Amino acid sequence: MDTPAPSRTVTGRIDVHPRGYGFLVVHPSGADEVLSAFIPPPELNPYLADDVVSATVTASADGRWNASGLSLLHRPRQEVYGEVVTRKGVVHLRIDRDVANGDWPLEAAGVEVQHGDALVARIADGKAWLLRKLEPGADRSLERIIVRHGLRRDFAPEARAEVQRVLSTPHALGARRDLRQVPTVTVDSPSTRVIDDAISVLPAGGDGALRLFVSIADAAEFVTEGSALDRVARERATSVYLAGAMLPMLPEELSTNWISLVPGEDRLCLTVELRIDPEGHVTAADVYESLIRSWAKLSYTEVADYLDKEEVSEPMAVVREAMPWFRAAAARLAVARAGRGGIEMAREEARFTFDEETGEVSGIEAVRPTTAHALVERFMVAANEAIAGWLIDRGVPALLRVQDEPDPQRVADLAAFAQHSGFAAGFGRRLTPLALAAFDRQIAGCTAESALRSVLRRSLGPSRYTVVPAMHFGLAARAYAHFTSPIRRYADLSVHRALKQYLRGRRDFVHEDPSVEQLAVHLNERSRTAHRAEKDRHRVLEARIMAAHVGREHMGLITRVKPFGLLVQLDGMLVEGYLPADTLPEGPYQPDPRETSLVGPARTFTIGMPLKVRVATTDEQHGRIELALAG
């Protein structure tokens, strides 16, 4: 007599696969691993991605789980994107295949729709109810991503009304320190309109110590806790940058004008003043509310031209005498950071270019950080570290940014990748910040640098917010906080509020306040959502561009092994494509237990190996570039 397969009732969240099936993801309880149960298409039809359901999961003979008997408990998704289709004379909405696997009956509420129209709708009572129809010529892939991830373009009327109250209410200066006579500049890309941070450096005194001022827009003075603006900002958690479009955390009337540190205008700030000795050690940090005026808005190119070639641009002329001290401060901080290890945050990035007339994406280019990017990064990292230490020393519970030391298996995987890429890591069983810095220096400037850094970042694992003090491994920092972008990140805004409360006399703080940890959990989730949306947009535009490369051959490096194939990053393009395992010769192939190699009867493909590939097909809707082995 056969033993019945074990089954149990669970609660989980639905994950939809664009090929029409799904998985029920059950989060771990205690020491249990995450359970992922297959949902066949018929069972999935009435549900959307992220629906919370109860279900019966049953283990099959091969150890895999299957879900059945699904029942909806909660539907967090408010809106869906889809396109109109007609079936037997009845209009339906074909919902984004990352969100639903079926077509839902459409209630158009009297609006004329026709086959192929793109819509945003809400789901209720087994139907899709029209909310708005996209205009002809709209970027459908952009709208699909915005709706898929629950992002928002517009602000609620109550938040808009509050903006007008902020703009019309004078703000008293109080006891702020007046820094308007200190030579102060901002450094950003020429197109940047949201300016959070300004920098100043005063010359060294008789003991050789100089003073670095990092002044950050005092958004907390205008966005009060619990207000309509605050509720919107908290829910969004961050500005989202979708190449060619930006969804701001705060309305533009505030973020690009009233709060932004535009040149020549008096602005309220929070300033951290650092005393840096000749060896680059920060020997003192002072934090206070301030009033500043930016003397000039400089671009990264202008600052790099000064640092590299002593060229002084016209806007820079007003702070010409201070510029050598900017360079000195950056050099000192660089020496101190090199002595403790970690990696530089500024890295090569892929940037899309757009046609000025049509707005269509026209290309992709690799942008390498300059000496100016390194200077600004060092100043911002020093400020964030100083703020974290300042808060911890005073017992103020605030959001901290932490990153754990990677476990030995991740370290071994990174070493294996380096070896197959032609580099000797030799980390030993434990990766230290100094060993990480040595590896970082080893790969700097090499042909495979971008692929190596992609794997390196994945090996280090994600950073996260928490109220519990811990180190940030990648930066080799004892403590770290986000302080320098309160217009664009809610975490920074929260840190500003904690600082201002202490500066204004509050002392009844709760040790490792649970409410701060609750906020951290929310911000971590929203940050991950924003990151996924940005990656989706990136992949869609990559596929759009690479459509013109179908049939062309490229060299690349294997950066990841998946159960069904390989991810390969193309040299010099920062573009990643998928090489299916079933197209590889001499198969079949199976991943090894750590998914570092794809192993076949006669050949093995391992992360770090160079491959010559051909662009086979592209799928813009799903952001997919499929490759084939060449030669």
Residue 3: pLDDT band (50, 70, 90) is low
pLDDT band, residue 593 (cuts 50/70/90): confident
CA distances from 534 to 18, 95, 215, 446, 524 (A): 18, 20, 29, 27, 15
The domain 7-74: what is its CATH number?
2.40.50.140
Identify the pLDDT of residue 455. Answer: 83
Q: Looking at the predicted structure, is the pLDDT value of residue 139 above 80?
A: yes
**20-40 tens-digit pLDDT:** 899 999 976 654 567 889 999
Residue 153 CA to residue 157 CA, distance in Å, equals: 13
Instruction: State residue 191's pLDDT score.
Output: 87
Q: In the predicted model, is pLDDT for residue 361 greater than 90?
A: no
Q: Of 56-60, 69-73, 266-270, 493-497, which gets the smallest average pLDDT?
A: 56-60
Q: Is the pLDDT of residue 367 over 90?
A: no
**Cβ neighbourhood burial of 578 (10 Å; 0-12, 13-18, 19+):** middle
Q: Is the pLDDT of residue 5 over 80?
A: no
The pLDDT-based confidence of 390 (bands split at 50, 70, 90) is: very high
What are the φ/ψ torsions at residue 420 (nearest 5 degrees)? -70, -15
SS3 of 167-203: HHCCCCCCCCEECCCCCCEEEECCCCCCCCEEEEEEC
The predicted-structure confidence for 416-456, as pLDDT tens digits, reads as follows: 888 888 888 888 888 999 999 999 999 888 877 877 888 88
Averaged pLDDT for residues 297-319: 96
Q: What is the pLDDT of residues 495-550, one digit of tens each?
A: 999 999 999 999 999 999 999 999 999 999 999 999 999 999 999 999 999 999 99
pTM (predicted TM-score): 0.93
Q: Which class does domain 550-629 fall in?
A: mainly beta
Q: Which of 26-35, 77-86, 87-96, 302-311 has the lowest mean pLDDT?
A: 26-35
Please determine, looking at this structure, whether the domain spanning 80-138 carries the CATH number 3.30.70.520: no
Count CA atoms within 13 Å of residue 445 on its CB side.
3
| Cα dihedral value 533, 538, 540, 542, nearest 10 | -170
CATH 2.40.50.140 segments of the chain? 7-74, 80-138, 550-629
On average, the pLDDT of the chain sits at 92
